[in-house]
Structure 1
Amino acid sequence: MIGRMEIDYRWRGAASDDELVALTLSHGGNPEPGWWDRVRPHSLGWVTGRAGGGALIGFANVAWDGGDHAFLLDPKVDPAHQRGGIGTELVRRAAAGATDAGCTWLHVDFEPHLRGFYFDACGFRPTDAGLIALS
């Protein structure tokens, strides 16, 4: 429960492409209709967070390499519900789902302004990494 609102979190919970487009738009993202329908079959799992009325207010996707490494992608919380622990709980449950699937590492990339969330609230630690821009 966050404040007085109860959130229903689900590992591999139902989520439609339309819901994810709306959630992405809610925080100023640039959704691509059809994205979730293409990505879902390749995901290890995902976490949904729904408000009492059933509205999707949080989401996090987990991709993997088929072995030890899982990758946290696309975490989102509706702005009206941010800063109440929903994002942290989505990440915690994503990590638990990856652990249950036999993964030993959960990777995440993020923009610098999100360091406090990922390092302080979620328990990630800094590592060396590399990146090649392909476009």
Structure 2
Amino acid sequence: MAATPSYEWRGPFQNIEVNNLHAECFDHEPKDIDWQARLDRHSLGWVCARHGDQLVGFVNVVWDGGKHAFVLDLMVAKSHRHAGVAKTMMKQVIEQTESAGCEWLHVDFEERLRPFYFDVVGFHETHAGLIRLRHT
């Protein structure tokens, strides 16, 4: 990895790029999801990280239209992991959500990601609840 990726809040993307990155990051076959329609409807914004023309990182920020924003689908291509891509994307997420007037930024994650979200990004532990509605 020679060049530093570029980062853009609400950057342009193709659905196939996000579908392929999601498949790589969450270990499943690529799906045909219309990310643009989904983000247009539910998102405050997103960050695209690119190495040249290649999408190497993506994170979605949904919100309630008021004080609360939620981090979803933080993804970094295997070729660019452990190089600060996720940290840089999250820095933009924090800046943009604060600038939009949000007071709270929420995230949930797998236990293995705890050091990243707490130690690197600066989230704090809180009590929360979850109900699994569908078993796939």
User: What is the TM-score with the length of structure 1 in the denominator?
Assistant: 0.91
1:22 corresponds in structure 2 to 20
In structure 2, list runs of 5 or more residues that go unmatched: none
**Higher mean C-alpha deviation, range 61-70 or range 90-99:** 90-99
Q: Please tell me whether residue 40 in structure 1 is matched to residue 39 in structure 2.
A: yes
1:77 corresponds in structure 2 to 76
1:11 corresponds in structure 2 to 9
SS at match of 1:13: coil
The percentage of aligned residue pairs carrying the same residue is: 43
In structure 1, list runs of 5 or more residues that go unmatched: none
Q: Structure 2: how far apart are the matches of 1:39 and 1:27?
A: 19
Shift, 1:4, TM fit = 4.2
Q: Structure 2: how far apart are the matches of 1:61 and 1:27?
A: 14
Shift, 1:56, TM fit = 0.4
Root mean square deviation of aligned Cα:
1.4
User: What is the TM-score with the length of structure 2 in the denominator?
Assistant: 0.90
2:49 corresponds in structure 1 to 49
Counterpart contact for 2:10–2:45, Cα < 8 Å: yes
Deviating beyond 2 angstroms after TM superposition, the runs of 4 or more aligned structure 1 residues are 25-32
Count of residue pairs brought into register by the alignment: 132
